[in-house]
């Protein structure tokens, strides 16, 4: 399979064939694809902030924020804008280039929209990319967020259509796909992935990735989460996922969505440095950085940077341009620099 192929016509059997490859062959193929489209030693760094915690009416079986489960999580109201900005400034100082804001809602209410759009505008003013996950959106809400300048909207599919009913019953798979369509139509980038380790099989992991890769456009960001088992949720006793099965999922996602950032997301607290390193080798090139992901633990920021240093990885830089002329000027400067390098040598060497 050519490493540069961009496809939207995957069949279930083709995806299962990828999962069934010998591990070393799968990793080699994923590395070829990764190096075709990305610097293999750069990782995009995001920070996630819970702007409204708990009391969600949905029944997602993995989620401690559901009002249906007793997980000991304290309910919190929507965070004030200035507090969100404090978190964003700290994230930027710590090396994050994208600030993601999540609210435990089925969908945002009309009264909430002025606050979340203000958050978007002011975080962008700090020079960061912005992402939000607020539940389902209607057309008007998607347009409001896009008009405020939101870069990414996160809405995960969670699992395959066939296994979905085992995980959530309060919204349909089609509801999720419709929200992704509205995000795209409004002009925002899509962040969509899923969770593995919820009792699903290979067919379901293949089904999830097939749904994502067969969208009209691949999501720009694909978070692959490993289940975090939280006491009080229906999945708290789920057996541990074989680490190699998780790495296979990362590698197959990289092969199927070559130009997407594949994010090593929830579950990193349970991963050894060696497992995370193998995930990067399989094609993961984005992480959530900080001490927690919404309500679950995450490796401490300095530990991530220590691992990056050991692996020779650098955080991916975020460049902002005011307009297309600025982009053109930057490209021309790079071309001129390359031409000069070809004609002159460094006398200091």
In three-state secondary structure terms, 118 is helix
**Which residue in the list 98, 254, 263, 268 is annotated as catalytic?**
263
Query: What would the two tokens of residue 304 be?
Result: 């991530």
**Which residue in the list 49, 98, 131, 205 is annotated as catalytic?**
131
CA distance 131 to 152: 4
Q: Judge whether 63 is annotated as a binding position.
A: yes
Q: What is the CB-side half-sphere exposure of residue 220 using CA atoms within 13 A?
A: 12
What region, left, alpha or beta, does residue 306 occupy, with left being phi > 0 and alpha being psi -120 to 50 degrees? Answer: alpha
| Angle, CA 301 vertex, CA 299 and CA 302 arms, to 5° | 110
**Which residue in the list 49, 60, 98, 248 is annotated as catalytic?**
60
CA distance 87 to 90: 5
CA distances from residue 151 to 130, 186, 231 in whole angstroms, order as listed? 5, 11, 34
Residue 249 annotated to the active site: no
CA distance 217 to 181: 10
| Angle, CA 264 vertex, CA 14 and CA 236 arms, to 5° | 90
**Which residue in the list 49, 98, 100, 171 is annotated as catalytic?**
100
**Which residue in the list 98, 191, 248, 249 is annotated as catalytic?**
191
Q: Judge whether 191 is annotated as a binding position.
A: yes
CA distance 186 to 189: 9
Return the residue matching tokens 């969908």: 107
**Which residue in the list 56, 98, 171, 249 is annotated as catalytic?**
56
Residue 60 annotated to the active site: yes
Classify residue 257 by its DSSP letter.
S
Sign of the Cα pseudo-torsion (40, 44, 45, 48, in order): negative
Q: Judge whether 49 is annotated as a binding position.
A: no
Task: Give the CA radius of gyration of the chain.
Answer: 20
Residue 56 annotated to the active site: yes
Residue 49 annotated to the active site: no
**Which residue in the list 63, 205, 248, 249 is annotated as catalytic?**
63
Binding site members for [4Fe-4S] cluster: 56, 60, 63
Catalytic residue ranges: 56, 60, 63, 100, 131, 191, 263
Detail the residues annotated as belonging to a binding site for [2Fe-2S] cluster. Answer: 100, 131, 191, 263
Residue ranges at the known binding site: 56, 60, 63, 100, 131, 191, 263
């Amino acid at each position: 399979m050519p490493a540069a192929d961009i496809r939207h016509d995957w069949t279930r059997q083709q995806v299962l064939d990828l999962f069934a490859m010998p591990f070393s062959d799968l990793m080699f193929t994923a590395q070829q694809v990764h190096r075709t489209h990305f610097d293999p030693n750069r990782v995009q760094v995001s920070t996630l902030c819970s702007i409204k915690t708990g009391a969600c009416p949905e029944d997602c079986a993995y989620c401690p924020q559901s009002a249906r489960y007793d997980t000991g999580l304290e309910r919190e109201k929507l965070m004030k804008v200035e507090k969100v900005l404090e978190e964003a400034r700290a994230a930027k100082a710590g090396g994050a280039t994208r600030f993601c804001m999540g609210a435990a809602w089925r969908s945002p209410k009309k009264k909430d929209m002025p606050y979340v759009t203000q958050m978007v505008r002011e975080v962008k003013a700090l020079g960061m990319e912005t992402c939000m996950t607020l539940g389902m959106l209607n057309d008007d809400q998607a347009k409001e967020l896009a008009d405020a300048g939101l870069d990414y909207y996160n809405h995960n599919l969670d699992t395959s259509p066939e296994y979905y009913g085992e995980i959530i019953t309060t919204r349909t798979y089609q509801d999720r796909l419709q929200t992704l369509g509205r995000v795209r139509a409004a002009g925002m980038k899509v962040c969509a992935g899923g969770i593995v380790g919820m009792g699903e099989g290979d067919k379901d992991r293949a089904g999830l990735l097939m749904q994502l890769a067969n969208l009209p456009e691949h999501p720009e960001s694909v978070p692959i989460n490993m289940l975090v088992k939280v006491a009080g949720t229906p999945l708290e006793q789920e057996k541990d996922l074989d680490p190699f099965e998780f790495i296979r999922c990362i590698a197959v996602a990289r092969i199927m969505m070559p130009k997407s950032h594949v994010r090593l997301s929830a579950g990193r607290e349970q991963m050894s440095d060696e497992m995370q390193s193998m995930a990067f080798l399989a094609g993961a090139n984005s992480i959530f950085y900080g001490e927690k992901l919404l309500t679950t633990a995450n490796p401490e920021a300095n530990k991530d940077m220590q691992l990056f240093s050991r692996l020779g990885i650098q955080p991916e830089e975020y460049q902002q341009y005011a307009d297309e002329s600025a982009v053109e000027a930057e490209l021309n400067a790079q071309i001129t620099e390359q031409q000069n390098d070809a004609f002159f040598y460094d006398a200091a060497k």
